[in-house]
Structure 1
Amino acid sequence: MSGFSSEIRLGDEGAERAGDGSYEATARIVDAAAGEDDAAVEAALRPRRLADFPGQTKVREQLGLVLEAARRRGAAPDHVLLSGPPGLGKTTLAMIVAAELEQPIRVTSGPAIQHAGDLASVLSSLAEGEVLFLDEIHRMSRAAEEMLYLAMEDFRVDVVVGKGPGATAIPLELPPFTVVGATTRAGLLPAPLRDRFGFTGHLDFYEDADLEVILARSARLLQVPAHEEGIAEIARRSRGTPRIANRLLRRVRDWAEVHGAGRVDLDAAGRALALFDVDEVGLDRLDRAVLDALCRRFAGGPVGLSTLAVAVGEETETVETVAEPYLVRQGYVSRTPRGRVATTAAWEHLGLAVPEGGQPELPWSDPGRLGD
């Protein structure tokens, strides 16, 4: 079996590790200013209840309805699938589901479950009503997925004893439980697994106003004096992502404590974010390197993804999953059949003259020359 984590019951001192690698976590808020590392601080900043979860109005209302109906029936709610880019609150919502149901939560991840036995070990230890959170669920092994189908639908797993013609399948009944799956790539989930989720919520990037609410709350928990102008500046550069917003807040706090007056104001935010290579629209070093390569080295494109990755010294997957989504969403890069193309906004952002004729013509007329 592949071991994969620890057993943690947030709220208990001294968590114990579980042999199957999963861990229990009951959401709570801890003292975020007590010298915890970044991961612990990030966990401490998570809201505990659905009413405290800012943004994602539609998903929040839909999920609240599902949970309230289940509470009134006294039954486990339907399985929940949460999809969307990293850092938008999928794990936080999973913790909130358990808190709203007043049930413990067992946490594991798709990459950690490489054999059906790994999943069987986790499932067989679940208590009635417990929440099982599967992060990156699209990366589970095929054998584990097939076992999960049966467990989610019939609350039963078949444990195979022996090998070959003499193998025997022993059915193991499971108490009702709720699976909360999280994925950044919902398209990779097989249809039979996706269809077994009774509720699917897609998380979108946040508006600046919602990020300001999140940052103001985080500043209070971190016990950092913060001005509205400083909070607004951080929110504007956070790429619509709460995880990035909270990380930038901590870096601005550090700068303010070392070089400033100990408060997060507009001046501290501007100076700190400049130090950490986050520009006025939230682009970081990698984003600007991609735009610079497109405009300066390849005259605006089109250029294939792998060529672009080599030019900036990064892996292809890093450019495609980390930098490109935000650049495309903000209108700096276009994806065409022949490759990536820098838009007029990209040239202007870098302070470069736009080529004669403006943005290069999109090469739809030559579908035989596809970019990678």
Structure 2
Amino acid sequence: MHDDMIEPSGEVRRAPGETPLSATAQTGEREVETALRPRRLAEFVGQPRVREQLELVLESARKRGVAPDHVLLSGPPGLGKTSLAMIIASELNAAIRITSGPALEKAGDLAAILSNLAEGDVLFIDEIHRIARPAEEMLYLAMEDFRVDVVVGKGPGATSIPLEIPPFTLVGATTRSGALTGPLRDRFGFTGQMEFYSPAELEQVLRRSASILGIDIDAEGRAEIARRSRGTPRIANRLLRRVRDYAEVRADGVATLPVVRAALEVYDVDELGLDRLDREVLEALVRSFNGGPVGVSTLAVAVGEEPSTVEEVCEPYLVRAGMLARTPRGRVATGLAWEHLGLRPPDDAGGLDSTSSSLFD
């Protein structure tokens, strides 16, 4: 299933905020992602530190015959937090219940889920930082004492009924650990900080994915995709599928290095892993605003996108790549941004010079 909608004119139409290099899951990707997810910790590629720590937590719990401590997985989207949650359940031979923070608007929503858990089950809450306050306060008691107080009725006649729940393991995932409240964060026994992948690790991910999907791609082709995938497995797998499409239609079905390069050019992914929207943001910043500083809302209007898309999809990688800096006065282009666009900053440019860009490498 393709990720994008194609208009009769042939133009690719994406949902708001969706780009080829967006790390968030896009329309129609869930089934493919499920097929590619590793089932065991030994199959999981990358995150060696988190893997080792998690293995110790799970093995210790198995030997003691108890449910492991609650686990918080923190890091940018697309790095494997959901996969690790499913692996935890698989390693424990336990069932897993999956929900998300935005879905838990009321305490009753959470109580319904908790009351249906069996002993040893894993409850996975994605985007846990977005859980509503009433549900979060109920979660405190459930995590510590394995019980919840259900309030029946309203007003003076309301009564609180304690409900015992069996020991379970909560796995929370968040892309914004700083948005978690202190009381909730402190109740997790283990916190794993997910890091971006190296190109070598992404090549391992691509080798495994190509084998599962039956894609014929050589080592040089995998290395090229890995180099342009922003250190994110979800993006690497998405680009792999787009390269497969190109190879099947315009080549002989084999994704060699020239085929990969041609495919990524069609999908507007350049040598540094920037896509069309990234370059539009940089061009607007240097051409329209002389390198900045400029506010994100103004920059978003200039490229015809929502401010949240620019801030959450484009900016993180541009900052990591050393092409954009966030300052108290607004966004500023670095010397690397001008260089990448083939431009020379004028003497009166507001952007940072090339030496300043080294601060963001």
Fold conserved between structures, TM > 0.5: yes
The CA deviation string for residues 115-145 of structure 1, in whole angstroms up to 9 with x for no partner, is 1000000000000000000000011110000
Instruction: Determine the structure 2 residue equivalent to 1:5.
Output: none
TM-score by length of 1: 0.86
Instruction: Report 1:1-372 matches (<5 A).
Output: 38-356=29-347, 360=351
The CA deviation string for residues 139-165 of structure 1, in whole angstroms up to 9 with x for no partner, is 111000000000000000001111111
Contact 2:68 2:169 in 1 (8 A): yes
Instruction: Determine the structure 2 residue equivalent to 1:9.
Output: none
Q: Secondary structure of 2:346's partner?
A: coil
Output the CA distance in 1 between the equivalents of 2:350 and 2:224.
30
Contact 2:228 2:273 in 1 (8 A): yes
Contact 1:55 1:206 in 2 (8 A): yes
1:38 CA drift (Å): 3.3
Contact 2:293 2:350 in 1 (8 A): no
1:39 CA drift (Å): 2.0
Could you tell me which amino acid in structure 2 is paired with residue 240 of structure 1? G
Q: Percent identity?
A: 70
**Structure 1 residue ranges without an equivalent (≥5):** 1-36, 363-372
Alignment CA distance shift 1:341-1:263 (3 Å): same
Could you tell me which amino acid in structure 2 is paired with residue 97 of structure 1? I
1:225 CA drift (Å): 1.2
Output the CA distance in 2 between the equivalents of 1:42 and 1:263.
22
Q: Where does structure 1 differ by over 4 angstroms across 4 or more consecutive aligned residues?
A: none
Output the CA distance in 1 between the equivalents of 2:291 and 2:297.
16
Output the CA distance in 1 between the equivalents of 2:72 and 2:255.
37
1:355 CA drift (Å): 2.1
1:335 CA drift (Å): 1.0
The CA deviation string for residues 97-121 of structure 1, in whole angstroms up to 9 with x for no partner, is 0011110100000111101000000
TM-score by length of 2: 0.89
Instruction: Determine the structure 1 residue equivalent to 2:23.
Output: none
Contact 2:111 2:148 in 1 (8 A): yes
Alignment CA distance shift 1:300-1:358 (3 Å): closer
Could you tell me which amino acid in structure 2 is paired with residue 153 of structure 1? E
Higher deviation after alignment, 50-59 or 123-132: 50-59
1:356 CA drift (Å): 2.7
Contact 2:292 2:350 in 1 (8 A): no
1:361 CA drift (Å): 5.5
Output the CA distance in 2 between the equivalents of 1:359 and 1:259.
44
Contact 1:344 1:359 in 2 (8 A): no
Output the CA distance in 1 between the equivalents of 2:196 and 2:122.
26
The CA deviation string for residues 195-229 of structure 1, in whole angstroms up to 9 with x for no partner, is 00000011111100000000000000011111000
Output the CA distance in 2 between the equivalents of 1:302 and 1:97.
45
Let me know the Cα RMSD of the aligned residues.
1.2
Which structure's relative contact order is higher, taking Cα pairs within 8 Å and 6+ residues apart?
Answer: 2
1:247 CA drift (Å): 0.3
Contact 1:343 1:359 in 2 (8 A): no
1:358 CA drift (Å): 7.6
Equivalent residues, number: 326
Q: Secondary structure of 1:76's partner?
A: coil
Output the CA distance in 1 between the equivalents of 2:202 and 2:65.
35
Could you tell me which amino acid in structure 2 is paired with residue 77 of structure 1? P
**Structure 2 residue ranges without an equivalent (≥5):** 1-27, 354-361
Output the CA distance in 1 between the equivalents of 2:325 and 2:99.
36
